[in-house]
A and B are shown apart, each in its own frame.
Chain A
Amino acid sequence: MELTLHVWRQAGPDQPGRMEIIRATGISEDMSFLEMLDKVNDDLIRDGVEPIHFDHDCREGICGTCSLMINGIAHGPEEGTTTCQLHMRSFQDGDSIYIEPWRSRAFPVIKDLVVDRSAFDRIMQAGGYVSINVGAAPDANSIPVPKEDADLAFDAAACIGCGACVASCPNGSAMLFVSAKIGHLAHLPQGRVEHERRLRAMVAQMDKEGFGPCSNHFECEAVCPKEISARFIGEMNRDFIRC
């Protein structure tokens, strides 16, 4: 396959950026999207040009490091798929592909396609945990948890913290991310104890980081590679009004 890539290049956080056209040749449809970029980078390096910088690590859809807007869609065209799990069979020979970084005020660009998502960590630090010290735990089976609750908690906990939800929201809202963490802990008795305090603290931090409000577009749910349900946003809003 041969492709024409339109890639966002930006040398550093304070430098201007622009779209650049780069040809991708010798691409096979079994390659993952990132392997396609590896190949392009290999060619660039051999030509003495700095390669395209992008974030990635596990390359199996679980660490949440990879993060690209591909033709305007966070993580590209396949549903429930991270960029690293997207394969070139989803594209056609001769395609033009637009590749941009996550766009959000709260995620400043570091270089090319790499952004700073530390705002998510600070939201977690504000309250996204159960306050328990090592050694203080009772026997694991001392509190039975209905299977439905445990499953629901898991559905929320599957969030990989990639930030696709923010990148695709017209308002740059982090509600899906925050509600997933809140939902995970709220559906377990262990997390229930601190629920209200956690909710208030995390929401306050979210606002402070410059994420926008949620106006129910649900673009976030559509692009989430882990298919986290927007029901958690509903639950969180309901509880927020209550407290």
Chain B
Amino acid sequence: MAYQLDAKIPAGPIQEKWTNHRFNLKLVNPANKRKFKIIVVGSGLAGGAAAASLGELGYNVECFCYQDSPRRAHSIAAQGGINAAKNYPNDGDSIWRLFYDTVKGGDYRAREANVYRLAEVSNNIIDQCVAQGVPFAREYGGLLDNRSFGGAQVSRTFYARGQTGQQLLLGAYQSLSRQIARGTVKMFPRSEMLDLVLVDGHARGIIVRDLVTGEIRRHAADAVILATGGYGNVFYLSTNAMGCNVTAAYRAYRRGAGFANPCFTQIHPTCIPVSSDHQSKLTLMSESLRNDGRVWVPKKKGDKRPPNEIPEDERDYYLERRYPSFGNLVPRDVASRAAKERCDAGHGVGATGLAVYLDFSDAIQRLGRDVIEARYGNLFQMYEKITAEDPYQVPMRIYPAVHYTMGGLWVDYNLQSTIPGLFVGGEANFSDHGANRLGASALMQGLADGYFVLPYTLGDYLAREADMNVKVGTDHEAFAAAEREVRDKIERLMAVGGKEPVESFHKRLGRLMWDYCGMARNAEGLQKALAEIPKLREEFWAEVRVTGGPDGLNAELEKAGRVADFLEFAELMCRDALHREESCGGHFREEHQTEEGEAKRDDENFSYVAVWEFKGDGEEPELSKEPLTFEHVPLTTRSYK
């Protein structure tokens, strides 16, 4: 049976929905809060913030992460900044404009009510972070500085040099540390969730592997929050950390949580290009660089001259040419595709021809090297370390790379999945970014979910649904069954006894996904991928070699479990991409484009969230649709010309 998807959007004018909803939410009596146990999987901005705030409220929280410390979640790597509608620069920003930009930037595939709430709480986030001691950039008058970011014509991005994510995460980690000290939160680092446990259809716990001892443990709770980040690593090469994975979300999907828009992935336009086969990850160069850098390629195909020898009139500043009003600041999907188009047409630069220039010489001349250094010093340094080239002297070479996943577990307005008691926050849910996320909006969403949404909506669930007197213990049969499955999978992985390392399968899967489900997709390619992925999966289960044993630290076993899940999940992504016969945001179907090569949306037939339901191994997942309606941001063709 298909899902009955109820987004539970509160009634009333959009500006009042959240206020009214908060009033209507049931509260948990303060004295009873500590009797409720809540599991939070993930300690990034979403999970760390949620665990800390729930701890402050007095709940009994258990928080898990796979790194050795909650401070190392991949949110730490975010560079550019975080949006908020403060309008401090007085350039015409407002909650409404941030809402509008986000819906439009997402190419009309997000839910208006959620996005409005996000814009609404954005200002509280900045207040909260400053109070925690986040050292945002300031002006000489002592007030906060802002900058502009791709896809927006106002300056609404708060930043802490090129390390905004780090500073925000440290803020959340500090709050979390305070709760750990107070005993409201118990932290389980180096612990990986391998399954979700349902009792009577409700999420009641998780199965975890202690990565140090190898012990398999059961944890029971009254509700579970997943804040396990994105799944960009299905492509092997991405800007994500090596450990980022889909396991937690995918295991929840197999237990009945709907997976929404899995094919919506964001390819970031400004990354350091791939140099060779041994490459293990791609490094982002913050898109804030596009504020001052100009993107160009040689007008002549295959021009091998060094960039500084190519005269001005032989350069094609193709973003400025194609999109005069936004120029180098067009949104990510547009910038990425434009780079691919130029490279495919033979104008790419560098050894592989898969790169374009990002040139700072004009800005250095105009503003002076000092100013550029103050703005981007650490990024330039990072670039130089990796490429051994000095971007103050020669233009950077950049190319798009997989960066973010807009798809994720389906959630309603309360951030609850299709499984009662399972809530999902941060990049792991599908919510607010539609088919394309605007720069500096993921940090905002993660913290909005964690600090300002989940603590309320989860309380409502507990007050309404959970009976404090009926506690489910880890001795319940559902825990035993889930644990057996987890152990069984580990045994099977160890037992294959093939010859090929896990990483090698991961790389092969990544190449398949990049070729057929990457920046541009078409039916033929996706069908090919759908035929190839099961074969690769079979080969994996016949040929993989997992060294070591099930006990103790075993990085190969960890990787093997994650890659096994990616090998199943990849199929779901391709299926979703194949079914969506339109181009929107990061999802570009070659069959659906205008004559000028711009994405062609089909609102008549595809203005919905695609939600996939697991039907069993070897069975086709079932598609349900949540229709999207746009009452406040009129549906228009996105134009950045």
Residues of A within 8 A of B (CB): 11-12, 28, 30-32, 34-35, 38-39, 41-42, 44-46, 48-51, 53, 55-65, 78, 80-81, 85, 87, 89, 110-111, 114, 116-118, 120-121, 124-126, 128-141, 143-147, 150-151, 153-154, 157-158, 160-161, 184-185, 188, 190-191
Contacts and interface: CB of A to CB of B under 8 A. Distances in A.
A137 B174 contact: no
6 contacts: A35-B278, A60-B382, A62-B165, A131-B178, A145-B142, A150-B142
Nearest to B175: A129
A60 B161 CA distance: 16
B267 interface: no
B67 A146 contact: no
A81 B189 contact: no
A144 B69 contact: no
A134 B52 contact: yes
A160 B385 CA distance: 18
B160 interface: yes
Nearest to B161: A154
A130 B128 CA distance: 11
A157 to B, nearest CB: 5
Contacts of B243: 57
A31 B132 contact: no
Contacts of A144: 141-143
A136 B545 CA distance: 53
A230 to B, nearest CB: 20
Contacts of A56: 242
A140 B86 contact: yes
Contact of B56 (A12, A38, A51, A133): A133
Given A130-B133, A134-B128, A141-B86, 5 more contacts: A50-B547, A57-B72, A124-B173, A124-B177, A129-B133
Contacts of A131: 178
A117 B69 contact: yes
Interface stretch (B26-34, B497-505, B517-525): B497-505
B241 A59 contact: yes
B138 A62 contact: no
A157 B71 CA distance: 13
B503 A38 contact: yes
A48 B547 contact: yes
Contacts of B555: 51, 53
Contact of A35 (B130, B141, B280, B284): B280
Nearest to A42: B501
Contacts of B174: 124, 128-130
A135 B555 CA distance: 40
Nearest to B182: A125
A74 B545 CA distance: 32
Contact of A137 (B52, B131, B500): B131
Interface in B70-110: 70-72, 74, 76-77, 86, 88
A63 B276 contact: no
B275 to A, nearest CB: 5
Given A51-B547, A85-B382, A126-B181, A64 B72 contact: yes
A58 B74 contact: yes
Given A111-B553, A137-B130, A190-B132, A161 B181 contact: no
B451 interface: yes
A123 B382 CA distance: 30
A45 B241 CA distance: 22
Contacts, number: 217
B338 to A, nearest CB: 25
Contacts of B126: 140
A135 B57 CA distance: 11
Contact of B69 (A12, A46, A161): A161
Contacts of A80: 381
Contacts of B177: 121, 124-125, 128-129
A39 B280 CA distance: 10
B584 interface: no
Given A45-B547, A125-B181, A55 B382 contact: no
A50 to B, nearest CB: 5
B603 interface: no
Interface in B175-190: 175, 177-178, 180-181, 187, 189
Given A57-B242, A59-B281, A60-B283, A188 B135 contact: yes
Contacts of B388: 87, 89
Contacts of A60: 77, 281, 283-284, 382
B507 to A, nearest CB: 10
Interface in B580-615: none
Contacts of A110: 212, 553
A231 B183 CA distance: 34
A176 to B, nearest CB: 16
B178 A53 contact: no
B280 A38 contact: yes
A45 B275 contact: no
Contacts of B279: 35
B385 A64 contact: no
B453 to A, nearest CB: 11
Q: Which of A62, A139, A161 has the most CB of B within 10 A?
A: A62
A27 B160 CA distance: 37
B547 A140 contact: no
Contacts of B349: none
B136 interface: yes
B230 interface: no
Contact of A87 (B71, B212, B242, B386): B386
B181 A55 contact: no
Contact of A62 (B88, B129, B166): B166
B291 to A, nearest CB: 20
A12 B552 contact: yes
B9 to A, nearest CB: 24
User: What are the 10 tightest A-B residue pairs by CB atom distance, in nearest-first order?
Assistant: A144-B142, A129-B174, A137-B131, A137-B127, A154-B135, A140-B130, A45-B501, A125-B181, A153-B135, A57-B241
A139 B135 CA distance: 15
A56 B66 CA distance: 12
Contacts of B451: 134
Nearest to A192: B133
Nearest to A61: B382
Interface in B235-268: 241-243
A74 B440 CA distance: 34
Nearest to A186: B133
A45 B504 CA distance: 11
Given A50-B547, A58-B76, A62-B77, A34 B280 contact: yes
B56 to A, nearest CB: 5
A30 B280 contact: no
Given A59-B280, A85-B385, A130-B131, A157 B547 contact: no
A130 to B, nearest CB: 5
Contacts of B284: 60
Nearest to B450: A134
Q: Which of A44, A45, A50 has the most CB of B within 10 A?
A: A45
A145 B136 CA distance: 10
Contacts of B153: none
